[in-house]
């Protein structure tokens, strides 16, 4: 099974200059756990900010959420895999880097995200279908 078959296409982005408060609002409103951080300029690259980053790097350190910019706690570079990569490889990658989601790219474009929850759901559905017609 390839990652493109089970990835989530819902990708939310945020500007690097936005405040952490904006990021939190967006995550809560859209019910997501990570945001793709846009590059600041042509020389910059995409990054990611997750709920974990906000809790461990900002809330735990009492940073001012309105004054702290997203770029200050963004993780870079992104861990990406090609859309045709096998799911097993993605899981190994997540395990190796101790992360719960990786971005999926088609050439230079990021087209989705795959999380451990997506893998678990897909695996459970596959098992439920086993032994039955396709």
Partner 1 sequence: MLERVFFGAKKEQKVIERISKHIQILHAAAECFKKAIEKKESEQMYCVADLEREADSIRREIMSMIYEGAFLPYLRSNICRFVEIVEEAFDLLKEAASEFDYIGQGLDKEIEEDCIQIADRNLQMSDMLLISFETLFSKGDLREKTLAIRIYEKQVDEIKVDLVRKMTEREVKSFWHGKILSDFVSHLTRISNVIEDASDYLLIINVSLR
Give me the count of residues in the chain.
134
CB of 127 to partner 1, least distance (A): 6
Residue 131 makes contact with partner 1 by CB under 8 A: yes
127 binds partner 1 (CB under 8 A): yes
Q: Of the candidates 2, 18, 31, 100, which has an alpha carbon nearest to the alpha carbon of residue 65?
A: 18
CB nearer partner 1, residue 45 or residue 125: 125
Strand partners, 104: 81, 112
Sole binder of partner 1 in the list 10, 52, 67, 76 (CB under 8 A): 10
- Identity of the residue, 50 or 71, whose beta carbon is nearer to partner 1 in the bound complex: 50
Does the protein bind partner 1 through residue 92 (CB under 8 A)?
Answer: no
> Could you identify the residue written with the tokens 């990406």?
80
Any contact of residue 124 with partner 1 (CB under 8 A)?
yes
Q: Which residues pair with 115 in a beta bridge?
A: 101
Subset of residues 16 to 55 that bind partner 1, contact rule: CB under 8 A: 29-31
**What does each C-alpha distance from 83 to 24, 98, 103, 127 come to in angstroms?**
28, 21, 9, 23
CB 77 within 8 A of CB 53: no
Q: Does 128 bind partner 1 (CB under 8 A)?
A: yes
Residues that bind partner 1 (CB under 8 A): 10, 29-31, 121, 124-125, 127-129, 131-132
């Amino acid at each position: 099974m390839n990652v493109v078959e089970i990835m989530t296409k819902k990708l939310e982005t945020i500007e690097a200059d936005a405040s952490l408060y904006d990021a939190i609002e967006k995550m809560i409103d859209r019910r997501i756990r990570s945001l793709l951080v846009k590059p600041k300029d042509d020389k910059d690259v995409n990054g990611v900010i997750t709920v974990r980053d906000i809790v461990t790097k900002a809330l735990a350190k009492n940073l001012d959420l309105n004054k702290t910019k997203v770029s200050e706690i963004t993780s870079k570079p992104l861990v990406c895999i090609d859309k045709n990569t096998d799911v097993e490889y993605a899981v190994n990658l997540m395990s190796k880097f101790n992360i719960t989601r990786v971005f999926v790219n088609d050439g230079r474009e990021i087209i989705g995200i795959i999380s451990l929850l997506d893998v678990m759901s897909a695996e459970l559905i596959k098992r439920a279908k086993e032994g039955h017609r396709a």
